[in-house]
Structure 1
Amino acid sequence: MSDDFEDVLHAVGPRLRALRRHRGMTLADLAVTTGVSESTLSRLESGQRRASLELLLRLAREYDVPLDDLVGAPRTGDPRIHLAPIHRFGMTFVPLSRRAGGTQAYKMIIPGGEGHVEPDRKTHEGFEWLYVLNGRLRLLLGERDLVLPPGEAAEFDTTLPHWLGSADGRAIELLILFGQHGQRAHLRVRTS
């Protein structure tokens, strides 16, 4: 086998361990959710066992990452990004980042509608930053009721009850940065 191929194989275990730790999971947690024994997971992470396709597929599904990201497969020559929209809660989320863990980026589309939608405020772990591209966003955040026009941004802890919807019944497009473990967006400006 070539040295490059061996390097890729040896990097799988440490990559799996780093991803699990970044997600704040123990081997016991991962064993429960994947059905793979703790000892097998430990041997995979330490490099004492090579991962089978079956094990890698289970881990990729659990971490919600492409299999290529788990094994560190080299990118092919195709520079195009194939975005697969996710449809949830009547909205469309287009993932803009493919990095496992950490802050995730999405384009979010809230469709327009004729009828009145009763806000159903949700809470979950994390921190969210959003920027309105098009439309007028109604953001209910705790006791606040805000309307954000295009060009405005908001940032909030998602453990506060919140709801996003149209302020005027028209479609809205947003950019969203979401940190599942509470990471906040930080902007750094260079001065010359």
Structure 2
Amino acid sequence: MQHSRPDGPTTLGADLRALRKSRGLTLIDMADTLGRSVGWLSQVERDISEPSITDLRHIAAALDVSISMLFRHAAAPAHEAGHVVRRDARRTIGSHMAGLVEELLSPDLTDDFEMVHSTFQPRSRIKEAVTRPTQEVGYVLSGKLEIEIAGLTHLINPGDSFRIRGEPFRWSNPFDGPAVAIWVIAPPVY
């Protein structure tokens, strides 16, 4: 996987390239899906061309991410860029559906994994199991979370962790308070 320049912040193009590759898509596949040329997409990924808002909507749909994920987050000071993510500068990711609020803790999507701060609202759940070609580890900081992995349901308390290796899973927070977890996903999916 190509990594960002060590001397500068990661760009939209680098994030797009990482997302495309994490989904197993070639430049040709993605360009065909978008109805654009491979050259144009390559220039976007190298930050030579800037996509329009309409292009970003199409790219977000093709990569199955929210369009807000593609907008730049608060810029870090130059000496922290690519290394530090401050609490108020986290990039919100995911769709917020089903009562889940996710924020990217990783500086960008160019690593072999991503780290996410997940807040599961009280009485929230996803109805359908999710299966992703990933390895994932979660650690519950506060509250309680029920996680079903490959048909088995587990109650995860603060300080407990869990792992998912490409198995179908779903989560629920049937309790009266929020649950907060740190989730590490490889390769990145957002």
Kindly provide the amino acid, as one letter, of the partner of residue 35 in structure 1.
G
Matched, 1:93 2:102: yes
Matched, 1:28 2:18: no
Correspondence for 1:53 among 18, 40, 50: 50
Equivalent residues of 1:141, 1:162 under 8 A apart: yes
Matched, 1:107 2:104: no
Ranked by relative contact order (alpha carbons within 8 Å, sequence separation 6 or more), the top structure is 2
Give aligned-pair identity as a percent.
Answer: 18
Equivalent residues of 2:127, 2:170 under 8 A apart: yes
Partner of 1:37: 37
Partner of 1:162: 169
Count of paired positions: 161
TM-score after normalising by structure 1: 0.62
Q: How does 1:54-73 map to 2 (within 5 A)?
A: 54=51, 58=55, 61-62=59-60
Partner of 1:186: none
Matched, 1:171 2:182: no
Alpha-carbon distance between aligned partners in 2 of 1:111 and 1:89, rounded to the nearest angstrom: 8
Alpha-carbon distance between aligned partners in 2 of 1:108 and 1:36, rounded to the nearest angstrom: 35
Equivalent residues of 1:138, 1:145 under 8 A apart: yes
Change (3 A) 1:75 1:170: closer
Alpha-carbon distance between aligned partners in 1 of 2:160 and 2:99, rounded to the nearest angstrom: 23
Partner of 1:185: none
Change (3 A) 1:181 1:106: closer
Kindly provide the amino acid, as one letter, of the partner of residue 133 in structure 1.
L
Consecutive unaligned residues of structure 2, counting only runs of 5 or more, are 1-7, 81-85
Equivalent residues of 1:127, 1:181 under 8 A apart: no
Change (3 A) 1:103 1:163: same
Equivalent residues of 1:111, 1:170 under 8 A apart: yes
Greater CA drift, 22-31 or 54-63: 54-63
Q: Secondary structure at the match of 1:54?
A: coil
Kindly provide the amino acid, as one letter, of the partner of residue 115 in structure 2.
A
Change (3 A) 1:35 1:142: same
Matched, 1:128 2:125: no
Equivalent residues of 2:22, 2:188 under 8 A apart: no
Q: Secondary structure at the match of 2:102?
A: strand
Query: How far does residue 82 in structure 1 lie from its aligned partner after superposition?
Result: 1.3
- The structure having more radius of gyration, on CA atoms, is 1
Query: How far does residue 152 in structure 1 lie from its aligned partner after superposition?
Result: 0.7
Consecutive unaligned residues of structure 1, counting only runs of 5 or more, are 1-7, 183-192
Equivalent residues of 2:56, 2:70 under 8 A apart: no
Greater CA drift, 104-113 or 165-174: 165-174
Change (3 A) 1:57 1:76: farther
Matched, 1:146 2:161: no
Kindly provide the amino acid, as one letter, of the partner of residue 49 in structure 2.
S
